[in-house]
């Protein structure tokens, strides 16, 4: 197992479960996104790799297993409606402008959505 090397100015990495947006999740080493297909970015960040979640977690139809107690209730309520898909290297398509997953300044910029990403315009 590889470990994160820190330099003096670095901070410890954020745990996967702390990420609420897919882009932040997949940009973090050892994290992947369990997404609800067609749900415009909704999902969970979990520990995992290219082949899927690790440490007993699961992201497959009929079985979303989260090992984080505070998310278990949330996942259980959605289990029947979800058709999850694992994303590790890139996120599924979403409208970042519509779901507020963008970095545009709401008062001075407008968000324009594209097939793969978004842009902020003055």
Q: What is the total count of domains within the chain?
A: 2
Q: What is the torsion angle, in degrees rounded to the nearest 10, for the CA atoms of residue 30, residue 97, residue 105 and residue 10?
A: 0
- Same domain? 43 vs 71: yes
- Same domain? 42 vs 100: no
Q: Is residue 56 within 8 Å of residue 107, measured between CB atoms? A: no
Q: Using one digit for the tens of pLDDT, what is the confidence trace for 21-35?
A: 888 999 999 999 998
Q: List, in order, residues 6 or more apart from 106 with CB less than 8 Å away.
A: none
Segments forming the whole domain that contains residue 120: 95-122
- Same domain? 62 vs 27: yes
- Same domain? 21 vs 63: yes
Rounded Cα distance between 69 and 61, Å, is: 20
* Average pLDDT of the segment spanning 38-67: 82
* Average pLDDT of the segment spanning 28-56: 88
- Same domain? 86 vs 45: yes
Q: Using one digit for the tens of pLDDT, what is the confidence trace for 96-110?
A: 899 888 899 999 999
In a domain, 5, yes or no: no
Q: Please, which pLDDT band fits residue 80 given cuts at 50, 70 and 90?
A: low
Q: Please, which pLDDT band fits residue 1 given cuts at 50, 70 and 90?
A: very low
* Integer CA distances (angstroms), 118 to 2, 49, 70, 92, 94, in order: 33, 26, 31, 14, 10
């Amino acid at each position: 197992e590889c470990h994160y090397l820190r330099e003096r100015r670095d901070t410890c990495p954020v745990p996967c479960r702390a990420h609420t947006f897919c882009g932040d999740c997949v940009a973090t080493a050892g994290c992947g996104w369990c997404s609800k297909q067609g749900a415009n970015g909704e999902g969970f960040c979990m520990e995992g790799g290219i082949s899927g979640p690790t440490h007993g977690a699961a992201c497959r139809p009929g079985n979303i297993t989260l090992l984080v107690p505070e998310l278990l209730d949330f996942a259980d309520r959605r289990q029947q409606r979800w058709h999850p898909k694992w994303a590790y290297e890139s996120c599924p398509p979403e409208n970042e402008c519509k779901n507020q997953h963008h970095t545009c300044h709401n008062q001075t910029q407008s968000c324009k959505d594209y097939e793969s990403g978004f842009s902020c315009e003055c």
